[in-house]
Amino acid sequence: DSGVTQTPKHLITATGQRVTLRCSPRSGDLSVYWYQQSLDQGLQFLIQYYNGEERAKGNILERFSAQQFPDLHSELNLSSLELGDSALYFCASSVSTIAPGNTIYFGEGSWLTVV
């Protein structure tokens, strides 16, 4: 158990719909990261928040958005869903930024299936 909690674990939804994935980081961790893992693209960095503020952005689509709340939990909002958005979405957390000795912990992921 990494200490990072993600909900829901599985989600099936139709194209065009909107879903919200939720993440609670490890106690004490200020940084939250979102990653997408699919068979064809592998594991891809989407976005990072640090203590409520966006810190880094990766290959995140405009239809996707995220935020980190004052209690440090984070949500990833996916809208106008397409079949290609079906993937495993991971949340990860770390104390601060990624640095030697600063481990990043991944949650178990949220499986999203768009039908």
Partner 1 sequence: TQLLEQSPQFLSIQEGENLTVYCNSSSVFSSLQWYRQEPGEGPVLLVTVVTGGEVKKLKRLTFQFGDARKDSSLHITAAQPGDTGLYLCAGGDEEYGNKLVFGAGTILRVKS
Residues of this chain that bind partner 1 (CB under 8 A): 2, 4, 31, 33, 42-45, 48, 55-56, 58, 90, 92, 97-101, 103-109
Q: Shortest gap between Cβ of 37 and partner 1 (angstroms)?
A: 9
Distance CA 38, CA 85 (A): 9
Give the integer Cα–Cα distance in Å for 7 and 19.
11
User: Least distance (Å) from partner 1 to the CB of residue 13?
Assistant: 20
Dihedrals phi, psi of 20, to nearest 5 degrees = -125, 125
Residue closer to partner 1, measured from CB, 14 or 39: 39
3-state secondary structure of 60: coil
Nearer to partner 1 among residue 19 and residue 34 (C-beta) = 34
CB of 16 to partner 1, least distance (A): 29
- Contact, 36 vs 110, CB < 8 A? no
User: Minimal distance in Å, beta carbon 76 to partner 1?
Assistant: 15
Q: Write out the H or E segment, with its range, that includes residue 71.
A: none
C-beta closer to partner 1: residue 14 or 42: 42
**Of the two residues 15 and 96, which places its CB atom closer to partner 1 in the complex?**
96
Short-list 64, 36, 32, CA closest to 50: 32
